[in-house]
Structure 1
Amino acid sequence: MQAKIDTSRLEKVLKNIEKVSDKKASMAVLSMVLIEPNLEESTLYFTATDLEIGYKGKVFAEIEGVSAPFCVSAKKLYEIVKNFPEDTLYFIKDENKLVIKDEEEKILYNLSIMDGEDFPSLPEFGEEHSVEIPGKTLAELIDTTAFCTSKEDTRFVLAGIYLEPLKEEGKLRAVSSDGHRLALLDREVSGIENFPEGFIIAKKAAKQIEEIAEDELLIRLGFTNNYVVIWTSTALFFARTIEGPYPDYRMVIPSEYQNILRIDRKLFIDALKRVSLVVNERFKPVTLELLPKEVILTSQETEMGKAQIRIPGEYEGEPMVVNYNADYLLDALQIMKSEEVEMKIGVGKTPAILTGYRDEGFLYLLMPMVL
């Protein structure tokens, strides 16, 4: 078999393949990509899996001759194609090797191959439990909430992003939390009322979905048999979801507040960064003293010293002092787009809520610190 392939299109597919393949697998075949030539469709199919996630993409190719499916190293193939200087390249499948070359054979690689029969079979997925969604919308839902997932192995259901269909509202909601804070984003999605139920995507799989979705005008998102699946015009990606119920996050979102701070977002970010220069590196506590026209940010005194910064802000409520993790505040403020943000602040251990008029559908909840 010989195939002539566009290098850039092949590189795009192999980039996703390389991320899915398991480099540390005990089974050598899981570090490989399965290549399936289809002469009738003039297409090469590329598949990789680590048994938890999988990707199958296709690339148009001018194919001559027939060949059974075969496997090569996903990492090496991607590195070769990524650094290939010509716009087109050639695959020539021999008895026990794959030759990769340019038209004039100035560049020549030989890669060892394995029989395609050794590659694990992938689950079959139907599109009956799926919905069409703009790629940018799905990418935004993941990107805006992924930073809030838990890094603790013991809280496995919090280590992912919860995607929940709000059927009556016609929206898809993404929620993430590490137990100290929570990020939530709603986006309208046509046809979401037909979606079966919510599910939790592990952060690694979610970020791969985000990368794939970012480049697509429309994709199809599905959930079936504990797998999240996306279909694009040229690929299929699937990942096993995190099993177990997601905590009832609605219970921790207060419905009423008496204290409201409105403040310039960039000014707030700059002040938090400056006061953080001398805070405790582990917990990053910062104290906010809230006055009618002013916010005073203060660090706790340490061996390094202490910082105090005053910035203007519009505050409604009784003057109060409250402590937060500076990094947790910065994480949300830096992902938001509004020039001015609104912070609803509770008394005692009540969490604060951060929103912005240009961040429609976004809500960030943050627990105060007890010092």
Structure 2
Amino acid sequence: MAILSNVLIEVTREGELILTGTDLEVGLRLHIRADVEEEGSITLPSKKLFEIVRESGNNLITIHETENNWVLITAGNSTYNLAGMASDEFPEFPKIEDDTFISLNSQIFLELIDKIIYSIANEQENIYSLNAVLFEKEKREEHSYLKMISSDGHRLSIMEKQVDQDLDALTLNPVTLIPKKGIQEWKKFCEGRDSVSISFEKKQMVLKDDKATMVIRLKGGEFPNYNAIVNSIRQENKIEIDRIPFLDSLKRINLFTEDNFHTIKISLENNKMILSSQNAELGNAKDEQTISYSGEPMVLGFNCRYFIETLQVMECERLDAYINSSSSPCMLKSDTDSGFLSIIMPMQL
């Protein structure tokens, strides 16, 4: 639909300009004050309109509709003629139930998203539901929690945040899946806002404040039983590692991994961890780290990039890693990163 590249512009006698954009998965409506001479509506190419506004260098922009859906735009000494399309072809903005919203601090959502966004599956992944984030609420010991879970089939990220508000009014589906693009736009919506009102309906979620409304279409389908994966790891065989030295070591070792799988070998024994990688065309690398580990010696294979991306979203100085054997997943967490847990699946060496 060509008109989806356009932004719907509506002006009212009350001096309000309403901008609406959508790709049928995510929709956004903004309300802006304007000097309106005559009410009406039209759609204009959003990218070109953005470029005109950005390059104009002027505080005031005037838009005047002429004939056949053309508009004359004036900004300072510059004038532009821009072809638009009739507004009646633009998709209708979804209806919203105003009585189902609860208001939450935007920082809660930003912290949830930042900890899980990196491990959402890309569109080319075969499992359709992994291109989305599982969103849940939970009540434990009189405390309310919001939780986001993402996985690409090779790793799993879980983040939960305690909230002061009562979440009874927040109605979720049995499986509430938010598409990757929706999560990305949700994050942008929260940035620069102190609080956001949120509501969930059967097929869509809605974010809003007093000037903007965002609608995100929910995905259907199931999500893997992440609790079974978490419970499969006995938190007994613990490795204590300094995060920053470990992250720096991984970045060095990753220089000599094969591009497709980023495979590294991790050897553990008696408070020592040796990381090594090999590239058939370039050579090999080895790095040694001091850790706290007194278990049986193990040789592990993992995707280096998965560890790097996990450690980059953590904030602790020292993290705990749990692993049952050389063929089992590795769990990463720390007391500092409260509510966060990451699991990385092993690779064959």
Query: Where on the TM-score scale, by shorter chain, does this alignment land: which range?
Result: over 0.9
Structure 1 CA distance, aligned partners of 2:335 and 2:307? 18
How far does residue 319 in structure 1 lie from its aligned partner after superposition?
2.4
In the TM superposition, residue 59 of structure 1 has moved relative to its aligned partner by: 0.9
Q: Which moved more, 1:192-201 or 1:324-333?
A: 192-201
Q: Secondary structure at the match of 2:109?
A: helix
Is 1:206 aligned to 2:192, yes or no?
Answer: no
Residue deviations 1:300-359 (CA, integer Å, cap 9, x gap): 473433222111111142222222111111110111111111111221432111112321
TM-score using structure 2 length: 0.92
Of the three residues 319, 327, 331, the one matched with 1:341 is 319
Q: CA offsets per residue over residues 100-142 of structure 1, 9 Å max, x none?
A: 223xx51111222322222221220113443322122212212
Q: Structure 1, unaligned stretches of length 5 or more?
A: 1-26
Aligned letter for 2:226? Y
Match of 1:192 in 2: 167
- What secondary structure does 1:76 align onto? helix
1:286 and 2:264 equivalent?
A: yes
What TM-score results when the alignment is normalised by the length of structure 1? 0.87
2:129 is matched with: 157
8 Å CA contact 1:349, 1:368 repeated in 2: yes
- 2:27 match: 54
CA distance in 2, matches of 1:316, 1:166: 37
Partner of 1:182: 156
Match runs of 1:158-173 below 5 Å:
158-168=130-140, 169-173=143-147
Within the alignment, does 1:313 sit opposite 2:291 as a pair? yes
Q: Does 1:30 align with 2:1?
A: no
Structure 1 residues 284 and 113, CA gap change in structure 2 (3 angstroms): closer
Q: Secondary structure at the match of 1:114?
A: coil
Q: Is the 8 A contact 2:73 2:80 kept in 1?
A: yes
Number of matched pairs: 341
Give the whole-Å Cα distance in 1 for the aligned partners of 2:334 and 2:103.
28
Q: Closer, same or farther in 2 for the Cα pair 1:351/1:153, shift >3 Å?
A: closer
Partner residue in 2 for 1:17: none
**Residue equivalent to 1:112:** 83
Question: Displacement of 1:184 after TM fit?
Answer: 0.8
Classify 1:303/1:31 alpha carbon distance in 2 versus 1 (closer, same or farther; 3 Å): closer
The correspondence for 2:49, drawn from 77, 80, 87, is 77
Q: CA RMSD in A?
A: 1.8
| Alpha-carbon distance in 2 for matches of 1:48, 1:311 | 51
Q: For 1:1-371, list aligned pairs within 5 A.
A: 27-40=1-14, 42-64=15-37, 66-95=38-67, 96-102=69-75, 105-151=76-122, 152-168=124-140, 169-189=143-163, 190-197=165-172, 198-254=175-231, 256-300=234-278, 302-371=280-349
Q: CA deviation at 1:72?
A: 1.2
Percent of pairs with identical residues: 30
Query: In 2, are the aligned partners of 1:165 and 1:193 still within 8 Å (CA)?
Result: no
Query: Does the aligned pair in 1 maintain the 2:13–2:39 contact within 8 Å?
Result: no
Structure 1 residue matching 2:36: 3-state secondary structure:
strand
Query: SS of 2:33's equivalent?
Result: strand
Q: Deviations over 1:55-101 (max 9, x none)?
A: 1111111222x232111111111111122201222222334432222
The answer (yes or no) to whether the contact 2:196–2:207 under 8 Å persists in 1 is yes
Instruction: Determine the C-alpha separation between the residues in 1 that align with 2:115 and 2:201.
Output: 25
- In 1, Cα distance between equivalents of 2:217 and 2:63: 33
Distance 1:44 1:70 in 2: 12
Asked whether the 8 Å contact 1:157–1:245 carries over to 2, the reply is yes
Give the SS at the match of 1:258.
coil
Check whether the contact 2:26–2:182 (CA below 8 A) recurs between aligned residues.
yes
SS class of match (1:193): coil
3-state DSSP of counterpart to 2:77: coil
